[in-house]
Structure 1
Amino acid sequence: MSALFSGKGFSGNIKITQKEFLELRDIIYELSGIYLQDNRKFLIENRFAPRLSELEFKSYSDYLDYLKKHPKGKTEELMMLTELITTNETSFFRDNSQLKVFRNFTLKKIIDEGIKSGRREIKIWSAGCSSGEEPYTLSMILHEALKDDIRKWRIMITANDISSNVLKMAEKGIYTRYSLRTTPPYIISKYFEDRGNDVFRIKPEIKRLVRFGKINLNLDRDLKRIPRSHVVFCRNVIIYFDKKMKIRVLNGFHHNLLDNGHLYVGHSEALHAVTDKFKPKQHAGTITYHKI
C-alpha cells in the first residue's frame, strides 16, 4: 500500500474545524484503516485544499456533505480520497539488507524444499506494492536465483495497493532513473530497456511473473481473494494503522500464508506487542517473521 501522505504540496486557506477533522478522520479510517492522529489536521488542510478548490467548496462541511449525500461523492470521490491520503516513496531494491535475507535465506529454503518435494511452486504477495518497484524487484531476484530453471517453476507474484493511480503506473512498468537510484547497474542493464531521456521500461520476462490488482486491507473479502502465499511482503504500511487494524491485517496475513510461511515488514514495524502468531528470526541487519 502507498504510504501515508507526507504533507508536501499546496497550502490552502480553508481551515478544518476539530469536529470536521474528526468526522473526516472516521471516514478515512472506515475506508482504508489508516488512523490519523490529532496532530494531522494541518496535513489534511495541506492535502485537501486543492481538491476543495476544484470542487468549489467553501468549507470542509460542504465536502463532508458531498461525501455522504452526493451520488458521485459516495462512489467516485471516496476512491479519490485514497489518492489524497497516500503518497508513494519507493525505489527498486529498497532496503537491500532485507532483500539479501530474502534471497539467501527465505527464497533458498523455498527453492530447496520445492526441488525436494517436486512441487516447484513459489507464491509471493506484495501487499502494498505502490507503483510496482517492490514486486518487480522480487521478480528480478527470482530470475537471478533460478536463472534458466525459472521456466520449470510455477511462480506468481500478487501485487496489490489501495491506489488506482499507482497501480496504473505499475502495470505500465515505465520508470525514471530516480526509481532506480538503489538498483545495481548490472540489474538495470539486464532487466530494463533504456528508452532514453532517463526513462526505463521493465522487460517482459520480469512483468510476466507479476499480477496487479486493487485491494483494501480493511476489507476481509479483499484479503480472501489473494492466493495462499509462501511469502508476504508488507513493508512500511502497518505503521500507519492503529492496534485494532494491525491485528486485523496481521490475522489476514497469517491466514493467507502457507504453513511455515514468511512475513516481511518494515524495519520499524515490530510485531511483538501486536500479535503472537508470528515468530521473529534475527538476521544480520533485519528481522523476519514466520507463521506459527
Structure 2
Amino acid sequence: MSFFSSQPLGLRTTTPLTDKEFEELRSFIYQLAGIDVPKQRKYLLENRLRSRIIELKLKSFSEYYQYLRHGADRKQEIEVFCEKMTTNETSFFRDQKQLDVFRDSILMPTLDEQKNSGRKSLNIWSAGCSSGEEPYTLSMMLHEILKLGIIGWKIRITANDISSAMIEKAKQGLYNDYSLRNTPKDIIARYFTKEPGGYRIHPKVQKNVNFQKINLNDTAALKTIPRSQIVFCRNVIIYFDLAMKKKVINAFYDNLQPGGYLILGHSESLHSITNIFQPVRKPGGMVYQRME
C-alpha cells in the first residue's frame, strides 16, 4: 500500500483533515473492519485518502465520509476504502526462521499424526492472507515435505482477506521479483513459470488453496471457515484494539481442533490479551496451542 506525500500537478487539493473528520473516518473503519487507527496516525489516514478524494472530485474529508455512508456507489467505494486503509506488505517465505520452526516442530508432527491415524487430511487457515504469498508458501512447503505422496492427501488451505483486490490478485497467481525476494532459487524453479508479466505460480500449488473475501470483524462469516489443525494470522492483530483482538482470537480458538496451533507474527503475542491458549515456546519464538 502506497503513501501519498504530494499531489499531482493540475489537481485541486482538499482541505486538511480536521479532528472531527478524523474521528468520523476512524470510527467508520473500526466499525467496518475492527481496525484501530491511533490518534497519532492521523497523518497516515490523511495521506492515504487524499488522492482518492481528489480522484472523486470531492472538496473535503467530510464529503468523503458522507460518500462512504450514503453515496450511490458506497459498496464499491467501501472496497476502495478498505484497500487504502490496509497494509499489504508481504512476500513468499517471509520470516524464514519462523517457517523453519513451524515446519519441523508443528507441520511435520501434525502430518505424522494425521497419517498414523489414517485420516491423511489437513486444514490450515491463513487469516489476513493479503495477495496470497503466505498460503501459497504453506502449499509449497507441503509439496516439499510430502512430494508425490501429497496426491493421497486431502489438503485445504483456506485463505481470506478483507480486500477484494488482494483476493483477485492471489487467485491470478502472478507475482513480481519483489514478492519473490526471500524465495530460494530452487523453489522458484520448481513452483513458478517465468512469464512476460512476472512469475506464475504452479497450478498444483494453487489447487490446495481456497481464497475468499472475509472480514475478520464478521463473526458469522468466520464460523463458515472449516475446522483447522493450524491457523496462521501473522502481522494482522497489531492493527486491532484489545476488544477486537479478543474477538478474533476467540474465533481462532473456536475454529481450531483440540491440539491445534495458532501462529502469530514473530513480534506478536497473546500476553495481556487472553489466556485461553497454551503458550508453547519453540526455538524461533512462541506459538499457541488449543489444549482441550
Shorter-chain TM range is over 0.9
- Note the C-alpha offset of 1:69: 2.2
* Cα deviations by residue, 1:54-107 (Å, 9 ceiling, x for unpaired): 11111112112222222322x222222101101311111001111111211111
**Which residue matches 1:48?**
49
Q: Is the 8 A contact 2:4 2:51 kept in 1?
A: no
Give me the whole-angstrom Cα distance separating, in 1, the residues matched to 2:195 and 2:247: 43
Q: Is the 8 A contact 2:3 2:47 kept in 1?
A: yes
Q: Is the 8 A contact 2:14 2:59 kept in 1?
A: no
Give me the whole-angstrom Cα distance separating, in 1, the residues matched to 2:88 and 2:113: 35
**Which residue matches 1:157?**
157
Further displaced range: 61-70 or 269-278: 61-70
1:67 lines up with 2:63 in the alignment? no
Unpaired runs of 5+ residues, structure 2, are: 8-12
Q: Is the 8 A contact 1:161 1:214 kept in 2?
A: yes
Q: Which has the higher contact order (CA 8 A, sep 6+)?
A: 1
- Note the C-alpha offset of 1:161: 0.3
Equivalent runs, 1:216-235 vs 2, <5 Å: 216-235=215-234
**Which residue matches 1:130?**
130
Q: Is the 8 A contact 1:97 1:286 kept in 2?
A: no
- Note the C-alpha offset of 1:9: 5.3
Q: TM-score, normalised by structure 1?
A: 0.94
Equivalent runs, 1:182-193 vs 2, <5 Å: 182-193=182-193
Q: Cα–Cα, structure 1 residues 186 and 49, in superposed 2: closer, same or farther, change >3 Å?
A: same
Equivalent runs, 1:207-286 vs 2, <5 Å: 207-286=206-285
Give me the whole-angstrom Cα distance separating, in 2, the residues matched to 1:251 and 1:87: 23
**2:174 partner letter:** I
Q: Is the 8 A contact 1:157 1:210 kept in 2?
A: yes
**2:272 partner letter:** A
- Note the C-alpha offset of 1:8: 4.8
Further displaced range: 10-19 or 33-42: 10-19
Q: Is the 8 A contact 1:157 1:211 kept in 2?
A: yes
**2:163 partner letter:** S
Q: Cα–Cα, structure 1 residues 9 and 170, in superposed 2: closer, same or farther, change >3 Å?
A: farther
- Note the C-alpha offset of 1:238: 0.1
**1:238 partner letter:** I
Number of residue equivalences: 286
Give me the whole-angstrom Cα distance separating, in 2, the residues matched to 1:196 and 1:219: 39
* Cα deviations by residue, 1:165-193 (Å, 9 ceiling, x for unpaired): 11111001011111111011110111111
* Cα deviations by residue, 1:24-59 (Å, 9 ceiling, x for unpaired): 100000111000101122112111111111111111
Q: Is the 8 A contact 2:14 2:60 kept in 1?
A: no
> Counterpart of 1:180 in 2: which secondary structure?
coil
**Which residue matches 1:36?**
37
- Percent identity reads 50
- Note the C-alpha offset of 1:267: 1.5
Give me the whole-angstrom Cα distance separating, in 1, the residues matched to 2:92 and 2:4: 23
CA RMSD of aligned residues (A): 1.4
**2:137 partner letter:** T
Q: TM-score, normalised by structure 2?
A: 0.94
> Counterpart of 1:226 in 2: which secondary structure?
coil
Unpaired runs of 5+ residues, structure 1, are: none
- Note the C-alpha offset of 1:114: 1.1
> Counterpart of 2:230 in 1: which secondary structure?
strand
- Note the C-alpha offset of 1:10: 4.5
Q: Cα–Cα, structure 1 residues 10 and 249, in superposed 2: closer, same or farther, change >3 Å?
A: farther
